[in-house]
Structure 1
Amino acid sequence: MSNINLSTASKLKGKVVVVTASTDGIGFAIAKRLATDGANVVVSSRKEKNVKEALRKLKGEGLSAEGVVCHVAKAEDRATLFSTAVEKFGGIDILISNAAANPTAGPVLECEESVWDKIFEINLKAAYLLSKEVLPYIKKRGGGSIIYVSSIVGFQPNNLLGAYSVSKTALLGLTKAAAQDLASDNIRVNCIAPGIVKTRFSSPFYENKSAEDIALQKIPMNRMALPQEMGGVASFLCSDDASYITGETIVVSGGMASRL
């Protein structure tokens, strides 16, 4: 893939964005794009070395970024994430909830209860708690945006990602419900559902030629996405260009089957 235009006007200038699980893959690409578009970004990861490396890359390009260790299932880490944004940049305008876990593979009804609980704790409950806890900060700024990162499997479950698929479907419902509740506060809530993106997380789909060939058969554009292609969609949803869009999920899948 070439000719991806990452140079845009500073349409997010002055905005403060918190992005979870944002030191590599889709999360890092989103953080980088929003910073490129003028935002001050706070990146996070469960590992300090990953935070430091992400900040080195972002600041090395002259972008405005800070970082903090955050396990989204830990209340104290979520509190530190938000307090860091306020301390470093003066407030919070946008939350991108990207953290996700998938510790197992297999059909949904073969998932162990403990694994099911872990998947939903990270993929859904943490997204809900992050949204709930960031609200006072966004309201103080007079409004803003919340974006959840779901997945194409939230629309079309994959039998190897059974429980994960269901957790991603639940995010679509959270998007709809939260958008209705927060519209009067000038807070827009939207969702991105990526297809197969070339990241470490999705490596089983392309780690060998046969796996890649099978995956590509389901993608009309006949290629997997690059992480930065999710960044452009996130930037659009955060910006005034999307000022009348809330409660929606944008599927970014290269044409993979999703919905009518």
Structure 2
Amino acid sequence: MIRLAANLSMMFNEWPFMERFRAARDNGFDAVEFLFPYDFAADEIAAALQKNGLTQALFNLPPGDWEAGERGIAALPDRMLEFRSGVALALRYAEIFGTRRLHVMSGRAERRDAAACSAYRDALRYACDEAGPAGIEIMIEPINRRDMPGYFLDDFAFAADLIAELARPNLRLQFDIYHRQILQGDVIRGLQALFPLIGHVQIAGVPERHEPGSGELDDIRILRELEALGYQGFVGCEYRPAAGTVAGLAWRDRI
């Protein structure tokens, strides 16, 4: 059975952020994810989760200065102290929420830059070692450079090799179907080949990032394949509703 998590950074934007939890529950979701919680007190979000009977599936480590265009700092050699502080902050939030998966954004850097590669490896080792005792998995997600120009981690094969190289049991792949199609295509075979590494899945229609099934892929078939593979985690609905969140939820009836 596919378990969906509403992405509250993209969905239910018709409501203020703290009211989106209730909106998600009222529209049939029992889990949520979002980009970042750090503008709110952890206890406030935890109370919203508990009140609405929701599981917090995933959120991201602090990304640096998001408004200035930063998209993570893990691959930035001169930001390691800030990165480590961000790990500690994210783990505090995760403990309060009961979240078991955190996404580390690499940031904008070139993979040909040896210093960036070394910093990224060191950052992931550190995050995994800090998160491991709490039973928390660290996710890495290849993201396409059309949406996020200059993003360091933009290749699924590189991500898989890195997971194998670092050999941390709690380092996992975040497989975003939208990004996979734009980056490399071959989505179903990619899921099959990488399935042992996958800790979290996200979905959106390609190319407009609207509701699943609204673009060039048969997203329902892909979800059925994911189910057939035995996936037990959540599928994050990381899409931008085309014409209102609630109006666009009928796609779920096809699963």
TM-score (norm 2): 0.39
TM-score (norm 1): 0.38
* Higher percent of residues as helix: 1
